[in-house]
Amino acid sequence: MRPLPVIGVVLVVLGVIGLVVANVTFTQHKTVLDAGPIKITQDQEKSVPIPTIAGIVAVVAGLGLIFIGRRT
């Protein structure tokens, strides 16, 4: 398979996922106290917003790569 259409399809899929999912949420485990046998940890939930423009740009760029890859 040619690489440009494959990369284009991947970009389109990632762009659509970015448009559907507004935030990516993950849990970070942080050590608060580590004193010998005593270890206290804290779970902190963080959220990273995905800008709408990033999803749109990824879809447009992916469609462009698919189009260019099919022409050559």
Q: What is the mean pLDDT of residues 12-38?
A: 91
* Residue count (the chain): 72
The pLDDT tens digits for 49-65 are 989 999 999 999 999 99
- Whether the pLDDT of residue 2 is over 90: the answer is no
Task: Report how many domains make up the chain.
Answer: 1
* pLDDT at residue number 29: 92
- Tell if the pTM clears 0.75, that is, is over it: no
Q: Which pLDDT value is given to residue 44? A: 93
What is the extent of the structural domain holding 20? 3-71
Q: Give backbone dihedrals phi and psi of 2, rounded to 5 degrees, phi first.
A: -80, 145
